[in-house]
Structure 1
Amino acid sequence: MAMSFRPLVVIKSKMGEFEALRHLIDRGVATPRVLVELLDSIQWDGRGQLLQSLVKAATQMAARQQPLWIDSHLLSPSASLARHPGGSFEQLDNRIESALLDEYGLLAPDVPAFIPVVTASAADDELRAVAMLQEHRPRPIVIRFRNLGVSARELDDGVRRVIRATRADKNLSHAIVDLGFVETVQLRQVRAAVWLAQAVLDRLAPQSITLLAGSIPATRHGFATTVRDRPEVPLWLEVAHGINGAEINYGDYGVVHPNAPRAGSPGPRTVYPYLYYTVPNCVIAMRRQPAKEFGNVAPGAAGKAFGELAGELVARPEFAGSNFSWGDGELARCRSGRDRAASSVSRWVAYATSHHLEHVAQRGTSGL
């Protein structure tokens, strides 16, 4: 089983995240793997801007022979993608393949449009959807293990069930041990993750295995700039040291909270300019309160406030430099406050995600 270190970043189907992917530097096999979690916000009908952005990102990555990993387990039964005939996987596969042919014609790469991700406890219909993809074009699959309390017997049964139902080649699979949101490194969690990762390696012998966790909080409070630890890094190091005979890759949730927004969350609301900027072992959390008029954010105030935030960041010694990533270049340009486009959440997420992707790609195992 040959492995080499390759980080994984999970994104939450946000417009800014897809924009950051468009600017991701192609580093060949050193490019971070990207897993997209499909959310109900992706609409199949109408303009479907999120869908278009997803297809563009997937087309670009497939053209580089680095297909996106795509996970549909967060889609509700009422989601536009879930209701579409053939299911979300089949329809996305067709849409991305068509985009590849439209753009590259006979020169389109001979690779799958994307790699499907399923949880170890996936429902039968989810597994059948992956089997249909295999009939169209054989491809690896990714199995996501989220239950640290699973027994050895349950794990055996689950792995056999997934491999059999998806008709996948066991030797071409990948595995993820997903810890979700973490605030601290806990010895009990480390031990459980080591046991599960080792058990998966022994039973599945995957092409790669990744420990996934994230520590970005669900809510933001206050306006003081703070430097927060990223416990997912030392947690990964502890688990990696406990694994015998294999390398376990590092994975995180980028610059967003690991959990998807709750169903029924409130609609549009005022979001003050903010940024999570990844640095070795930590993240710089920044937030600004823009000027208001009559109780509402004044016209142009959000962009100006973000420009001030960017100016503070660029002046800090931790700033990686304007040439480090597309996002860093945009942040350096924003500090003047003249970039009106920097007044939207999607832009803030795009800049931070772009920097984060390059951070995990360039820093290596010793500087995450």
Structure 2
Amino acid sequence: MIIYLVTFTVTAVFVQAAGSPRIRSGVLRVLVLSVPALIMSTVAGIRNYGVGGPDALVYGNDAFAGAVSANSFGSLVEYANRLSIRGEVGYLGLNYAVSRISSDAHVFYFWLALVNATIVLIAIMLMRDYAPPGLMWLTYLCTAYVDSFNLLRQGPALALALLGIVLVLRARAWTGLVVGLLGFLFHTSAIAFIPMWLVATYLARPTTKRGRRAILIIVVVVVGMFASSAILQAVGGSFAGGAYSDYLGGSARRGAAVGTEVLYRLIPILGGLYALKAMARRSEPTELLAERSDRDLPGHRIVESVLSATTRQKALLIVVVLLIIELIMLPIREISYPLYRIPAYFGYIRIVAYAMIASSLRTHKLPGYLAVVTFVAAYFYLVVYLRSQGEYSSSVLNGWLQL
């Protein structure tokens, strides 16, 4: 537990520093961000393979061993087909590239974690005018980092989906679509990004009735869930020749702890709805988000970053709606627990959403930030550490980190 506490705290400080307006050099910002990325990738790389879940032992190590012994990428693809890894050439390509420099699977997991961290940090830096980057990074570490130990192929796909939606929030919708679809190279579940992107772009379009659009989307999702539940239960394991029987056949724990999961998701959503209501009551046309003073730097003038209240409200509405959609989709676990990988894409937006919600509280930002820290820390301890095989161990360091 101590390894998490120390590294989470230290790296969050570095990320917050990297987002400071005093860092005007892109090169310096990258250097500062490389510290948390390398620290957390090392922690992920030297872990024992069972930490966070079984997938490293189920197929991860075998896939990398196949890459080490493969004399070409084509032969690795053939080998991966026998492991039911089909078409995910991004994941296989990373295996193959790392296997050319090392035969140690720990090295591969370091590079995999570095890919995830890099994508997430890019998304966070793009949103640093909306909320404190250190708080967004801490949310990632507490709610998604250890999960990535187990979601080997899906981890980069989830990170790319997050970056894709962030690009939509930054008015780069088509670039966001391309980035999100790159997730297909790592996991076929990235198809979930398409409805995410459609929702985000639909709500981002200029309109005076954005709230009605949000309600319409939620109603459509609710109706769609009722219909899809019946369809999925009907097709069951016969879908795609039985390839997805583990996902549709109910072989895993059915609906386990759904009530608890709902509670964890409902609290931030309620906070987000409160923030949206408070923003709607405010009449100011613009809101000063940050006054960036560089008086300590000779020759530089004060720089101000201003986002309109409408822009901020629109971004917050989009992320809250995506969180609501994840909540609506949670009952899909009643069909089969592994299907949580689909709503996980919508839930991944929490990495930026929680901090955005707190930052939108005009007169109670500090209590809001402290509430987010407390909430994600409690989530990490109660859900990740105690229930999801998150306890850390590393035989690489001869037991020094058995804490």
TM-score by length of structure 1 reads 0.29
RCO greater where, 1 or 2, for CA within 8 Å and sep 6 or more? 2
Per residue, is there more helix in 1 or in 2? 2
TM-score by length of structure 2 reads 0.27
Per residue, is there more strand in 1 or in 2? 1
